């Protein structure tokens, strides 16, 4: 406490000349003055120190630089931020060291709070399948509340990279393939993390990543190059980052890839022209782990000094773990290669965030042992996690209404390598806590608890996730034979998707397909639970099972959420945020593709058309697809005018009716096609969606409002403009809608 007072007094002295008015405008002014005052006290070394970030000693999320001098540098003011410092005790301890430095500038503590901190929520791709922006925002809000109580100031999330390649392991961290849905989710997550605004002790600084186009890595191989037109970059890939900026994201992170030959870390076009230029971003940019130094491997710079020069010139303000800035920047300034004013610019951006977070007033305001304890096992947070987990599940198939399970079921056999898995349920990018086995609700526990005492539960593992051993099949078949219904839990292990987890083969690993076939051969009804961090290929077995639930990785409450859906306590409402391919050979396959000059007339047309001779062009499951225990009819869209002018609103009405036997939620999706453009336009683009809960036989009229802005795109001069002409509108419950209605823009 004494230390805290002394820091505070010192800064009061430093900024004595600056009046602290209580009005909002003057408070803002005061931050600027305070930043300038601190900057004016700093040596060049201290400034460069602020631009330096190391990983701490608790969780490594990349290759750590070996040198053991980190703490010494903290004490000397040579570090602006540290990541992976876990818990209020540790953050307090390291912050105390930072306050031993000459100017006592507090550190920022960053961590990958990707889908929860203590309470683990579904992986982001799964949450995106809920299409429920409020629930997604709430999940980020809770994650921020829990993590901030442990002394974390800054999350490296949301990851908003569009990806159309399920081979890429990091699709699990994003919102899927679509820029419209992805932008709304990006903004929701930023709002959730940053809460009522920086400076509140339950608000984390968010970080939009990975800027930019990391998800378009060639071949889906992590860290690979990205090569695309600037039109596509602007029209598709950049949109969610821009949405994050518009939502007030505090920071952005570079991506590892190069874009058209220039590494993103030093890419002036995206960082200076767009992000810090026309987009008006006022936060700071952090490199990705080691990405400054990795530009040597790219062959873009000659050595670490050159890397530091290129990155800072490009617009990267903080260097994560490469040490290129701390080792070389001073010399670059002294030799006149880098001007000190460029350094000042970056340091001001970083200091400003420290002020906005209130760290200069109280460097320990986030690490509260008491608050941390309260958040340690918070029942409301678990309830929210269960709620979004069940909304994230996608029902892909339900033959003969196998689900929800009938009340007549007396014996359930649960079979498969993931039935009793514990930690896997959390998915990649989650922290393993010592009490996980007591906290995570396994699928076995969730189903058994809900089934109750009157239902007999049988279990057989059958096989491992990747092992070739089939010796457990017999036991699995026997269990199936003795049951009324079988629930099989198969898929990847959690760490088969995530960073550096690209796969060329995205079938179910190991002998799991054979296990499913063997169990289905018993003739017993089989419900498949497919657990994965990406779309998998499983069409070899989908015909054999009666029902398929795509359960991704659902977090702490996985077992309960799955039970809610299996027993019909929750009617599934999830919709795929990514297209599911029939085989890897179709990748990339996505709904919003450009038409060719030779589109096939139908799936059998092979007459010199753009098609595979051994496979239809259509995917296994289209973007936006997902069933319910109910059925819905969706009318054609009815616009209130067929001709409209730029700036004018078109109101499009769609009637949705619950035609099934039970209450349920439908996500009504509105797509459009720009029939003719100065650049070839996608065959479909999502322009809106609405979720409605309807009772049996209930109808609702939904209205979507569109203007020419919704139909605009980046033309060949990179101007975002609409063009006159015909637009076809489509309404439905997924992207595969055939029949549209036309409107014309004057």
Catalytic residue IDs: 288
To ligand BGC, the closest distance from the beta carbon of 113 in angstroms equals 10
- Closest to ligand BGC by CB, 258 or 499: 499
- Closest to ligand BGC by CB, 238 or 343: 238
Measured N-to-C along each axis, helices 304-314 and 340-356 cross at an angle, to the nearest 10 degrees, of: 60
Instruction: Count Cα neighbours of 446 within 13 Å in the Cβ-side half-sphere.
Output: 31
- Closest to ligand BGC by CB, 255 or 665: 255
Which DSSP category does 273 fall into? I
State how far the Cα of 392 lies from the Cα of 132, in Å rounded to an integer: 9
- By the 8 A CB rule, do 714 and 235 touch? yes
Give CA angle at 522 (516, 526), nearest 5°. Answer: 50
Measured N-to-C along each axis, helices 2-14 and 24-41 cross at an angle, to the nearest 10 degrees, of: 90
Residue among 563, 425, 413 nearest 488 (CA): 413
State how far the Cα of 129 lies from the Cα of 530, in Å rounded to an integer: 14
- Closest to ligand BGC by CB, 61 or 707: 61
DSSP string for 661-728: SS-EEEEEEEEEEESS-SSPPBS-EEEEEEEEEE-TT-EEEEEEEE-GGGG-EE-TT--EE--SEEEE
Tokens 């079979």, residue located:
415
- Closest to ligand BGC by CB, 289 or 625: 289
Which DSSP category does 110 fall into? E
To ligand BGC, the closest distance from the beta carbon of 84 in angstroms equals 7
To ligand BGC, the closest distance from the beta carbon of 209 in angstroms equals 6
To ligand BGC, the closest distance from the beta carbon of 465 in angstroms equals 24
Beta carbons within 10 angstroms of residue 280's beta carbon: 9
To ligand BGC, the closest distance from the beta carbon of 147 in angstroms equals 14
Tokens 């009061």, residue located:
12
Which DSSP category does 277 fall into? I
Instruction: Count Cα neighbours of 260 within 13 Å in the Cβ-side half-sphere.
Output: 10
Beta-ladder partners of 456: 411
- Closest to ligand BGC by CB, 156 or 269: 156
To ligand BGC, the closest distance from the beta carbon of 317 in angstroms equals 16
To ligand BGC, the closest distance from the beta carbon of 83 in angstroms equals 6
| Distance of alpha carbon 686 from the chain centroid | 19
To ligand BGC, the closest distance from the beta carbon of 220 in angstroms equals 16
Beta carbons within 10 angstroms of residue 383's beta carbon: 12
To ligand BGC, the closest distance from the beta carbon of 141 in angstroms equals 20
State how far the Cα of 480 lies from the Cα of 229, in Å rounded to an integer: 53
State how far the Cα of 546 lies from the Cα of 531, in Å rounded to an integer: 17
- Closest to ligand BGC by CB, 427 or 510: 427
| Distance of alpha carbon 470 from the chain centroid | 36
Sign for the pseudo-dihedral over CA of 322, 327, 328, 334: positive
**Residue 575 dihedral angles phi and psi, to the nearest 5°:** -135, 140
For residue 553 the two structure tokens come to 């990785």
What CA–CA distances, in Å, run from 459 to 412, 416, 514, 546, 548? 9, 9, 18, 19, 19
Residue closest to ligand BGC (Cβ)? 61
Give CA angle at 211 (208, 212), nearest 5°. Answer: 135
- Closest to ligand BGC by CB, 145 or 255: 255
Sites of contact with ligand BGC (CB under 6 A): 61-62, 83, 112, 156, 209, 288-289, 499
To ligand BGC, the closest distance from the beta carbon of 158 in angstroms equals 11
- Closest to ligand BGC by CB, 94 or 451: 94
- Closest to ligand BGC by CB, 63 or 261: 63
- By the 8 A CB rule, do 740 and 629 touch? no
């Amino acid at each position: 406490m004494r230390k805290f007072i002394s820091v505070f007094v010192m800064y009061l002295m430093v900024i004595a000349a600056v009046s602290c008015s209580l009005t909002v405008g003057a408070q803002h002014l005061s931050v600027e003055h305070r930043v300038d005052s601190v900057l004016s006290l700093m040596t060049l070394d201290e400034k460069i120190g602020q631009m330096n970030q190391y990983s701490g000693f608790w969780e490594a999320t990349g290759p750590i630089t070996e040198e053991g001098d980190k703490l010494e540098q903290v004490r000397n003011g040579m570090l602006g931020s540290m990541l992976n410092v876990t818990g209020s005790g540790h953050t307090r301890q390291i912050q105390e060291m930072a306050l031993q430095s000459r100017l006592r500038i507090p550190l920022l503590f960053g961590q990958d709070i990707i889908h929860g901190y203590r309470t683990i929520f579904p992986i982001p791709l799964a949450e995106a399948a809920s299409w429920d922006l409020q629930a997604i925002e709430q999940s980020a809000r809770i994650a921020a509340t829990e993590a901030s109580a442990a002394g974390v100031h800054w999350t490296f999330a949301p990851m908003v990279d569009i990806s159309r390649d399920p081979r890429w392991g990091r699709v699990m961290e994003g919102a899927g393939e679509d820029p419209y849905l992805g932008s709304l989710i990006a903004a929701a997550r930023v709002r959730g993390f940053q809460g009522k605004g920086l400076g509140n002790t339950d608000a984390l600084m968010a970080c939009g990543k990975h800027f930019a186009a990391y998800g378009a890595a060639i071949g889906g191989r992590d860290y690979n190059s990205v090569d695309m037109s600037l039109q596509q970059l602007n029209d598709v890939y950049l949109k969610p980052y821009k949405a994050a900026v518009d939502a007030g994201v505090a920071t952005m992170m570079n991506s590892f890839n190069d874009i058209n030959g220039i590494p993103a870390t030093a890419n002036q076009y995206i960082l200076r022209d767009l992000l810090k230029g026309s987009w008006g971003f006022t936060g700071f940019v952090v490199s990705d782990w080691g990405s400054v130094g990795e530009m040597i491997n790219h062959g873009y710079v000659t050595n670490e000094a050159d890397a530091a020069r290129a990155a800072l010139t490009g617009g990267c303000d903080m260097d994560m773990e490469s040490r290129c800035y701390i080792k070389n920047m001073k010399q670059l300034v002294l030799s006149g290669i880098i001007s000190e004013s460029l350094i000042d610019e970056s340091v001001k951006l970083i200091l400003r965030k420290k002020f906005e977070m209130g760290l200069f007033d109280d460097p320990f305001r986030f690490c509260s042992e008491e608050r941390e304890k309260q958040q340690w096992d918070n029942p409301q947070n678990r309830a929210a996690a269960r709620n979004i987990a069940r909304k994230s599940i996608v029902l892909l198939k339900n033959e003969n209404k196998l689900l929800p399970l009938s009340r007549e079921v007396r014996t359930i056999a649960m079979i498969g390598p993931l039935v009793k898995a514990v930690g896997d349920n959390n998915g990649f990018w989650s922290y393993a806590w010592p009490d996980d086995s007591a906290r995570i609700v396994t699928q076995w526990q969730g189903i058994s608890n809900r089934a109750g005492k009157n239902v007999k539960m049988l279990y057989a593992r059958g096989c491992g996730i990747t092992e070739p051993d089939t010796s457990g099949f017999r036991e699995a078949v026997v269990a199936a034979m003795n049951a009324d219904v079988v629930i099989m839990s198969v898929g990847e292990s959690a760490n088969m998707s995530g960073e550096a987890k690209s796969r060329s083969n995205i079938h179910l690993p190991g002998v799991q397909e054979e296990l499913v076939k063997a169990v289905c051969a018993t003739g017993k009804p089989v419900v498949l639970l497919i657990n994965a961090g990406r779309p998998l290929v499983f069409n070899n077995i989908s015909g054999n099972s009666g029902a398929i639930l795509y359960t991704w990785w659902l977090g702490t409450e996985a077992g309960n959420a799955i039970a809610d859906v299996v027993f019909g306590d929750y009617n599934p409402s999830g919709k795929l945020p990514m297209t599911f391919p029939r085989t890897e050979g179709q990748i990339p396959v996505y709904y919003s593709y450009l038409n060719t000059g030779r589109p096939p007339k139908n799936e059998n047309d092979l007459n010199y058309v753009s098609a595979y001779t051994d496979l239809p062009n259509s995917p296994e499951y289209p973007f936006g697809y997902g069933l319910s225990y109910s059925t819905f009819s969706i009318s054609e869209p009815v616009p209130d005018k067929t001709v409209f002018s730029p700036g004018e609103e078109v109101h499009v009405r769609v009637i949705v009716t619950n035609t099934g036997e039970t209450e349920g939620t439908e996500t009504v999706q509105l797509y459009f096609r720009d029939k003719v453009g100065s650049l070839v336009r996608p065959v479909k683009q999502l322009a809106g969606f609405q979720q409605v809960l309807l009772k049996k036989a209930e109808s609702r009229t939904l209205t979507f409002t569109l203007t020419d802005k919704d139909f605009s795109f980046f033309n060949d001069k990179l101007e975002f403009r609409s063009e006159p002409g015909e637009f076809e509108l489509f309404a439905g419950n997924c992207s595969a809608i055939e029949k549209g209605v036309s409107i014309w823009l004057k």
